[in-house]
Structure 1
Amino acid sequence: MPQQLSIFDQNESPSQVASRKSHIANRQFICLDIEATGLNPENEKVIEIALVKFDDNKIIDTYQTLINPERDVPEEITHLTGIKSEDLYKAPKIGEVKNKIKEFIGDLPVVGHFIEFDINFLNYHGFNFNNIQLDTYELAKIILPSEESYNLEVLGHKFHITHENAHRALDDVLACIELLKILQEQIRDIADNVWPQINHILKKGQCVWAEEFLFWQNKSLQSSDNDFQTFFPNQKTTTKQQATESDVLDIECQALNKNFIGNQPVIFQPSYYLDIDKFIILLKQEVLSPLETIFCLKMILVIDKFQKSYSPDNPDLISKKIVKLFNEEKNLWQTVSHDFYSLLQTKFWRQTQKNLAIMITHEFLYELIKANPVNFNKMKSLRICNPDLFIKHLLSNVNQSIYLNNLLATGKNSANLNNNLTILFGLLGIFYEKLFGTEKSEQEIIPKQLNDISWQQIKKMIENFKKIYSLPLKITTLLDLILNIDFDNYVFTLNKTEKSEVFLKFYPKNFPQKISLLNNYFSEIETHNEFPLSLSENCYIQHFLDTKININDKDKKTEKNQIFLSDIEQILSIINNQNDTDYIFISSSERNSNNLYTLLFDQIDKENTAILAQQVNGSIGKIQELWAQNTSSNRILILKYENLHSFLFKHNEKLKAHVVLIIYNLPFDYMKNPVNKISSAKFKNTFLEFAIPRVTLEIKNIINSFSKIQNRETQTFCLDRRIQNYNNALIENLSTMSDIIL
């Protein structure tokens, strides 16, 4: 996206000022949307374009046309848009309407939902637009900071926007204009006491929507003074808490996996909560980057909403639960969130200690183990629910990850430093490819590999950073870890994701001993499962956890269910011949989900059956909303194992009369993964004593969640034939809960 000018920019040329002011005075915009044969402009073509010129009061002009892509339209695009190849044979080619489109748009600001995609696509095909781009997706993320999804269809449904033909260009444009009007109304409704904070942020930062905020606010507020102390709540206590060995609070603590929380009141890890003091430090910086500007605007609106329900008698904290964070925003959140020291000084925590029983998340325990705080009072007891999931994610949460491309620097030299961090990230990618080629996975690094010249260049660049820049403590600490890798105490890995992000991880070799740190904070510790364990599952948990922790699943009884061993052909036959049914496929990876989606899409009756897959059709939030809105006779949903629990909790009442759960593939761990190599080192037979119990416990968890569906006919199938292998070890473990029907 081209660099956008701020209304506060003092370095604009006279012509730039005149041009910008004329657009503000005229308040005319172009809303644009295209449909294409795919997402990649290098390989795909435009098949439809729609443009609407409008101002604050009315639509001025409209232009819409189909485009002949000179190639066939893929079936999935026809299914999505309704546009068929034969519809386009007589349509003009893109070059034939290029001048008309450019003339229609002129130099007006261009509005759209994910407008960067549309502009980049057209520019790749020769349009060379350099207009101001106003993305309603970005504005919605600021104004509506708590939404699960910012998809145009989902927001349209929320605000009752007429949008009958989603994924047709003109309908999308008209829906986008309606959404913009609604967001403008939300800006006008911002409370007077919030505007000084917004103006403070806009003066320091960069935001393409700055003009819109200033246009709609009460003009008398533009010069009002900002007062941090009166706007932000004081959430800290006046006295410091000191823990002593003799202090044991009479509190029973229960730890839950985050996917099993539901509506229960629970205390999350410290980094889940916003530390107001740290956020104010961010606001007081001399300059705010574009990312920081958007983040601060979003958080100010979240804080204002929170303030309206805040009570000193029942103190609470602002948490990630009430704000939707994206990508780099999550890293920025870490810089303004609580740690154990600050959390334990809050009124919220003091109020919590008055309870006789509290619930916490597994992540709370992970951060407790990592931080080992001295000011944490010992509690009476701890009950770890879902101990298998607690173990499964333990090492991943006590490790140290370094995302060089996501490190954020602030201050006068931040732009230069961030550019150099980007170069460093590139060098890390070169180093990865030298060692491991183009394979995208997590790879363990051994000492001799660090003699490579590429690694020496990385070290030299880091050393120069430390000499030239005054670095934040967080960045300094991470860079020191890279310079002084301790192979005796850590396993060091290099990771390359499907999105080609490269990052480093440090795993402590002594992490099993770290579990014993929990004994410093709880007098008694036990585990609890909702389902009976097999002997090998029990041994796995007992062997992995400290021996002082009691395994509690005695007298646990459950009605056995049936898992039918099947194949994809039989499932497809059921789907195409049975109506009023929800089919939920469970997959262990994004790659498997993609393959399954392609397989099903080609063979189902799309007139009667809708199909949605995690990542293929969007994030988990988006597809859950689209699924709930869909009225097809049959619905297929492809999810990862970890998302089934929260999905069923949220949508239990919206399920159809028949619900079928299909285990597409068993959740075996990749045993060469360093996490599993370290975790399994203490087991004599890694496969039978470590890998097998982890698989069956994961399956039991999803079966347990599925069994709670009420007033529906349910069936469970497994398509992975490996369930019969390994001397029936899997079937034997599952037999305490399920009968496998071969």
Structure 2
Amino acid sequence: MHIIALDIETTGFHPENDKIIEIGAALVNLETRKIEAEFETFINPGVPIPHVITNLTGITDQDTGNAPTMDDIRADLIAFIKEYPIMGHNIGFDISFLESNGLNLPNVRLDSMDIAHIAIPKAESYSLEIVAEKLGMSKPGQHRALKDVKDNIEVMFKLLDIYFAKNSSEELSDIIEKSLSPWKDIFKYAIRNHNTQIVAYDEQTKQAAKEAAKCEVKPNTLQEVAPHEIEQIIPENSGKKTIIAVTGEKNLTILNPSQYLDRNLFRQLTDKESLSPEETVFALKILPLLRSANYQLSSTEVSFPSNIKNLWFDYCYTSYPQDIIKTLKVANPIILTHQTLARLAKSEQLDMSDANLIIDDIDEFHNNVQRAFTMHYSERRFADSSLSEGIKDRIAILFGYIGMMYEKHGQSFALELCPYHFATMEWQKISDLATKIAEEAEDNSEESSMLRFLEKSKNGSQNLRIEIMLAMDGSPILKITPLNIGTMLAEKIWPIPSTLSLIGTAITYKGESPAGTYLKKLLCLPEDFRVETDNSYIDTENVDMPPAKDPLFTTNADNYLLQNLDRIEKPVFILANSQKAAGMIHHKLALPFKEKGIAVMAQGASGGIGKIRVKSTKDPENTVLVGTYDFWRLLSMEAGITNLKTLIIYKLPFPPPGTTPFKEPEDFNAFKEYALPITGLKIKKIAKTAQKTILLDSRITI
């Protein structure tokens, strides 16, 4: 029983534009676990190798200058691969590049990412480098083709051993027998022939809570506080129920219903006559976690690859099960996310009448609640529902009309509908058909409720923003965003609890008078609601630069970083105003500072968020991170990068025009009344986690 393990290195991530620069492959005997033959070669891409790729792989133009072309090695590679199954980590990436070079291989494809997800329920990252490190392997992640191939082979065997040494049952064997996965035969072999003398992988461990003084949370106050952990804001012996709403997923008591697995629905999956490759990975990952009959599995305990993530929503609860409802009544404190609090408050499922309500990160509360109630409609969302085939056919026509509307009127990523659009003949077709479909869908299913909401929203209102967007495959998505979040909060949350404490590390910005005006207006808080600010000193340095819109700004800012970054205390976070800008900064800095032993990692250029988080915490004194505000929030939210030595503001992250999250009143100045306040709060929030802030773009002071 043999397979081919394959890996390639490339000049970029897009097979239609980028080129292959190295290929490595090995013929593996699954019974002996030995490599029986190897294939390795540089490839002359015919174009210069970008600095970022040389930084990643170490491969230079000198290495590939005299190497064969793809045409030169095509026949040899095909002869080496023969008809064996091809295995790789995210193998679709490698195959897509081979296909773009005329190698349309019909071989079975095995993605070892599937095995990693099955064997390791939750990890920060499932990249080959991070998984290999978890398994105790030395010096993984070299980004050289044959080295990665050999690492991948070792990872595959270790993961199969780990999974099947821990898990063996008739039910598991039955799932594999019914599976349509290309891994089926290897799974069956591994059940019988796995190594029982395995070394456990490095489990993801929770960091011990640091001893820290309690943060004094004041009742009925919009309060600015120092950076803190959840444990610091839980009151001691208050005598009342305490409800705490937060932004992350640490220490949560209650989740949304859709974050809990419905065992009865999952049983329907495992009882199917056959399971697709995606269903196989999902079932094999979930099954070992359900050993306890009373255990309520949540999505926070597992990670899924992108092609499987949506399966969770086919097998989760749509409303709270009884044991969770009981928890809502008896738990104290109750810790939940902003989104969960908003949904429970609106549906009146959470009794807050005699409770202390604390909302942390109050500056992000409006945005998170708005996202919780924003609806995304696509044909695919209804395709697998219990609606009749006749209704599904009409929904397909409806989204055809929506796509035609976008083709005629759309000019960018999203088409925001205005009164002009609602008066067009194209929208009239959409409106009429939406009405007919909603009338036919009379049951109480979630899909029918969605259709009725869609019908009510069809002509827009001052409280809704309706947009048509395109999915990756070009299909239309209708996005409906509520703009009356503040009004809902004023009705459903603010008057209910016994005490209301709204806290955050940034509730005002320099120059705002009176302090807290923007947040109070955004959240529809009473005018007399008390505000208390934190006037602790923020160490800032303004660097003399041309204005941010001056063509010379970028050149001067890049030169400043090249000349000074090695002397600036690390870890450093360089704040960019877009992911594209972060990539350009990374392109300039990564290679020269790698030679100095400093790792520069950027959003979108250095792997996924989990991989960057793991790598950045290993050697923070030699780490520079580059990205947007949202990137920083993701890094910091789950016990990641919270203690910066230096923040460098490369360019201020002003929001793009037309993104105001509420209905703009007459004579509204979008810059002064929205863009300036929201940017000022973001900058202050990051700056309070750093010991020093350096401003290259000084349009806002801190």
Structure 2 unmatched runs, 5+: 194-238, 546-556
Within 2, Cα distance between the matches of 1:289 and 1:158? Answer: 29
User: Structure 1 residues 133, 586: CA separation in 2 closer, same or farther (over 3 Å shift)?
Assistant: same
1:492 aligns with 2:481: no
1:320-399 correspondence to structure 2 within 5 Å: 320-327=299-306, 329-339=308-318, 341-343=319-321, 345-346=322-323, 348-351=324-327, 353-370=329-346, 372-373=347-348, 376=351, 378-399=353-374
Deviations 1:11-55 (A, max 9, x none): xxxxxxxxxxxxxxxx11111112222232222332221221111
Q: CA deviation at 1:271?
A: 3.1
1:206 aligns with 2:195: no
Within 1, Cα distance between the matches of 2:48 and 2:386? Answer: 52
1:666 aligns with 2:666: no
Deviations 1:84-124 (A, max 9, x none): 22222332222222222111111111111111121221122
Within 2, Cα distance between the matches of 1:448 and 1:546? Answer: 31
133-142 or 351-360, larger mean C-alpha shift: 351-360
Equivalent residue number for residue 614 of structure 2 = 625
> 2:66 pairs with 69, 86, 90, which one?
90
Deviations 1:318-364 (A, max 9, x none): 2222111344644433343345x524x21x55345434433322122
State the AA in 2 paired with 1:513.
T
Equivalent residue number for residue 260 of structure 2 = 273
> 2:6 pairs with 28, 32, 38, which one?
32
1:561-572 correspondence to structure 2 within 5 Å: 561-565=539-543, 567=545, 568-569=557-558, 571-572=560-561
User: Structure 1 residues 379, 218: CA separation in 2 closer, same or farther (over 3 Å shift)?
Assistant: farther
> 1:594 pairs with 583, 590, 607, which one?
583
Equivalent residue number for residue 189 of structure 1 = 165
Equivalent residue number for residue 230 of structure 2 = none
Equivalent residue number for residue 677 of structure 2 = 693
Within 2, Cα distance between the matches of 1:206 and 1:407? Answer: 25
Q: CA deviation at 1:695?
A: 2.0
User: Structure 1 residues 685, 580: CA separation in 2 closer, same or farther (over 3 Å shift)?
Assistant: closer
Equivalent residue number for residue 3 of structure 1 = none
Equivalent residue number for residue 174 of structure 1 = 150
Within 2, Cα distance between the matches of 1:87 and 1:302? Answer: 48
Deviations 1:425-484 (A, max 9, x none): 6764553232123x22452354645745598489869979998x9999344444454455
> 1:581 pairs with 564, 570, 574, which one?
570
Equivalent residue number for residue 52 of structure 1 = 26
State the AA in 2 paired with 1:303.
L
State the AA in 1 paired with 2:579.
E
State the AA in 2 paired with 1:666.
L
> 1:145 pairs with 121, 129, 132, which one?
121
> 2:521 pairs with 522, 539, 543, which one?
543
Secondary structure (helix, strand or coil) at the match of 1:166 reads coil
148-157 or 493-502, larger mean C-alpha shift: 493-502
1:554 aligns with 2:526: no
Equivalent residue number for residue 221 of structure 2 = none
Equivalent residue number for residue 720 of structure 1 = 697
State the AA in 2 paired with 1:325.
F
> 2:242 pairs with 234, 252, 256, which one?
252
520-529 or 167-176, larger mean C-alpha shift: 520-529
CA RMSD between the two structures: 4.0
Equivalent residue number for residue 225 of structure 2 = none
Within 1, Cα distance between the matches of 2:533 and 2:16? Answer: 62
Q: How many residues align?
A: 638
State the AA in 2 paired with 1:337.
C
1:527 aligns with 2:480: no
Equivalent residues of 1:409, 1:472 under 8 A apart: no
Q: CA deviation at 1:69?
A: 2.5
Equivalent residues of 2:434, 2:451 under 8 A apart: no
User: Structure 1 residues 74, 697: CA separation in 2 closer, same or farther (over 3 Å shift)?
Assistant: closer
Structure 1 unmatched runs, 5+: 1-26, 220-248, 707-713, 724-730, 735-742
Q: CA deviation at 1:607?
A: 4.3
> 1:676 pairs with 647, 650, 661, which one?
661
TM-score (norm 1): 0.75
1:107-126 correspondence to structure 2 within 5 Å: 107-126=83-102
> 1:702 pairs with 678, 686, 694, which one?
686
State the AA in 2 paired with 1:40.
H
Q: CA deviation at 1:563?
A: 4.8
Equivalent residue number for residue 61 of structure 1 = 37
Q: CA deviation at 1:387?
A: 1.7
Within 2, Cα distance between the matches of 1:98 and 1:349? Answer: 62
Equivalent residues of 1:187, 1:216 under 8 A apart: no
Secondary structure (helix, strand or coil) at the match of 1:134 reads strand
State the AA in 2 paired with 1:719.
L
Secondary structure (helix, strand or coil) at the match of 2:320 reads helix
Deviations 1:401-435 (A, max 9, x none): 22444556169999x99999899767645532321
Within 2, Cα distance between the matches of 1:426 and 1:45? Answer: 37
Equivalent residues of 1:586, 1:641 under 8 A apart: yes
User: Structure 1 residues 705, 611: CA separation in 2 closer, same or farther (over 3 Å shift)?
Assistant: same
TM-score (norm 2): 0.79
Secondary structure (helix, strand or coil) at the match of 1:492 reads strand
User: Structure 1 residues 210, 522: CA separation in 2 closer, same or farther (over 3 Å shift)?
Assistant: farther
Q: CA deviation at 1:553?
A: 4.2
Q: CA deviation at 1:578?
A: 1.7
User: Structure 1 residues 296, 408: CA separation in 2 closer, same or farther (over 3 Å shift)?
Assistant: farther
1:518 aligns with 2:504: no
Equivalent residue number for residue 6 of structure 1 = none
Equivalent residues of 2:414, 2:467 under 8 A apart: no
Within 1, Cα distance between the matches of 2:165 and 2:159? Answer: 10
State the AA in 2 paired with 1:699.
I
Within 2, Cα distance between the matches of 1:682 and 1:392? Answer: 22
Identity %: 24
Q: CA deviation at 1:126?
A: 1.7
Equivalent residues of 1:445, 1:493 under 8 A apart: no
User: Structure 1 residues 584, 122: CA separation in 2 closer, same or farther (over 3 Å shift)?
Assistant: same
Within 1, Cα distance between the matches of 2:361 and 2:47? Answer: 53
